Amino acid sequence: MQPNKRKNQSKGWFFFVCVKFRIIKEGAFEREATGIHALLREENMNAANYLCGKGGCQRYLEDREELMKLHLLHTNDLHGHLEHWDVIRTFLIDRQDTYRNLNEPVLTFDIGDAMDAVHPMVEATQGKVMVDIFNEARYDKVTLGNNEGLNFTKETLAALYQAADFDVIIGNLRDGRTQEPLPWAKPYDFIEVDGLQVLVIGLTAPYQTYPLNGYLIQMPDYALGEIFKQTHKEQSADLTILLSHLGIRTDRKLAQQFPELDVILGAHTHHVLVDGEEVNGVMLGAAGRYGEFVGEMTLTYDAPKHNWSIEAKAHSIEQLAERYKLPVQNDRYRAKGEAYLAEKIISTQSPGLYVQELSGQHSFIHFALEAIMQETNLDLAVLNSGLFLSDLPEGHVTAKQIHEALPHPMHLAVIEMQGWQLLELLEEMDSQAEDLLYQMINGLGFRGKIFGELVWSGISYHDVSQNWSVHSRPIETDAIYRFATVDHLWFLPFFPSIDRYGQPELRFPKFLRHVVQEHLNTLYTD
């Protein structure tokens, strides 16, 4: 925070400065600081002053009751990337042990989008691996990202979090049927830390598709205002922390709108705030994505002034790996997850389905089009070839092979249009076909590289008549047409007609790969 928030702090800072600048530079902060603290507990001032500097530790003893330190450790947007987890876990546990040995409280948070079934172990365990490793790393609180909220059912999350040693904090997501807070989560929580009341609130990005998964979603500013109305009736907070899976722009807006906030730990937009960012006296922190950074804040409370000073840092995984002499990447969970998925046989008589074949009996994309039409009971469908990342072999096919071919967390979408609206969409698709063929795509559920070619089942273009037709009949401008696809085509900016006219109806909870898997199992298994 700004210097005026730290000026005239009590002399206890001498101890912190002496440790930080004299001992850290020698690479032995944890060991030396713990030793100093032990000497202070024994009141062995001669030995302690030798390490701290003459008179420094005496000042520390005199002022320690006026200053309290609280440490925050935070991760966000892991998205099932466990290749850095050994380093992250080592850092978190090391920091927790170090600060607790100094009698300085520490809280550990995750800010959502930890679970992502793109990782085979997350897919194989339906997210349980993430709960297990968070338990192992002693997390205190987590909030939900859209990956947890939209890609797992309420029932799945309820079962998963029963085994959690941490609390789930989510203030703007409620049960869609009862409109009450989720029974397995809390909208907010108070934590008592050295006699101070720390209020922790969680919020997630308000996707309009949440009702399809059985939730009532509230806008963040409304939910936060309601929470403050409630908490003000209960007790006053000495510190308020927001776990925000909302994105950097919303975080800055909320910091301006709600001066009650002291800290916002951010996520969703994968931003990194290396040294934090202060907005309206609120300290923002964020640690990027995929475990490439781990966030840390040190908060010092000046009791006589009722004032917090806050320092923020995002540690890069490369720096931490070097510190702990660990490899930067070591995903020991991937092989185990792949082995679990490989044990599950989906088909014993697969004809062989190939990515490069866009038509015919062995076309992977046409088989998928048949599968989603069967699932939605429709006779029109469209998908893009970039969704299909690898072939499915002839004969036996496992869940591992399907997961590798279709890792995307995409739901089916049913879109309804009048004929003239459908023609407008087809012209949008045709006019961009060449550009989209090798268009790089990132995010919005896509886990491949390029968009590829759009392939329809039931709709075709006739070069001679230069007309589009549905099952060999010209499209009637006033007729109603319904077709199946994936939500990804709606989320992309390339086809505005879908959003303008289509009234997309998403189908939960199955992903595209689950629909393909079931169709393959039904048709080609003994």
User: What φ, ψ does residue 303 adopt, rounded to 5°?
Assistant: -60, -45
CA distance 422 to 474: 12
pLDDT number for residue 52: 52
Q: pLDDT by residue (tens digit) across 228-237?
A: 999 999 999 9
CA 317/CA 84 separation, integer angstroms: 7
| Residue 466 confidence (pLDDT) | 83
Helix (H) or strand (E) holding 402: helix 399-405
Tens of pLDDT along 45-90?
455 455 555 444 544 444 445 688 999 999 999 999 999 999 999 9
Query: Which is nearest to 287 in space by CA: 81, 21, 17?
Result: 81
pLDDT grade, residue 526 (50/70/90)? confident
Compute φ and ψ for 82, nearest 5 degrees. -105, 10
CA atoms within 13 A on the CB side of 74: 37
SS (H, E, C) 425-494: HHHHHHHHHHHHCCCECCECCECCCECCCEEEECEEEECCCCEEEECCEECCCCCEEEEEEEHHHHHCCC
254-309 per-position pLDDT tens digit: 999 999 999 999 999 999 999 999 999 999 999 999 999 999 999 999 988 888 99
d(CA 94, CA 86): 12
As a whole-number percent, the residues of the chain with pLDDT over 90 amount to: 80
Domain 344-524 has CATH 3.90.780.10: yes
Domain ranges of the chain: 69-336, 344-524
Least confident of 23-32, 114-123, 145-154, 262-271: 23-32
Task: List phi, psi (to 5°) of 297.
Answer: -130, 140
* CATH no. of 69-336: 3.60.21.10
For the CA atoms of 51, 53, 54, 57, the dihedral, rounded to the nearest 10 degrees, stands at -70
Prediction pTM value:
0.83
* Phi/psi of residue 219, nearest 5 degrees: -65, 140
Sign of CA dihedral 40, 43, 47, 49: positive
Q: How confident is the model at residue 37 (pLDDT cuts 50, 70, 90)?
A: very low
* Percent residues over pLDDT 70 in the chain: 87
CB 504 within 8 A of CB 490: yes
d(CA 187, CA 234): 14
| Number of other CB atoms surrounding residue 134 within 10 Å | 22
Evaluate whether 441 touches 385 at the Cβ level (below 8 Å).
no
Helix (H, G, I), strand (E, B) or coil at 26: helix
How many CB atoms are located within 10 Å of the residue 151 CB? 23
CB atoms within 10 A of CB 477: 11
Q: Does residue 501 have a pLDDT over 60?
A: yes
Q: For residue range 308-319, what is the model confidence (pLDDT) as tens digits?
A: 999 999 999 999
Q: Which residue has the tokens 């709709």?
A: 459
Tell me the per-residue pLDDT of 140-190, one tens digit each, with 9 for 90 and over.
Answer: 999 999 999 999 999 999 999 999 999 999 999 999 999 999 999 999 999
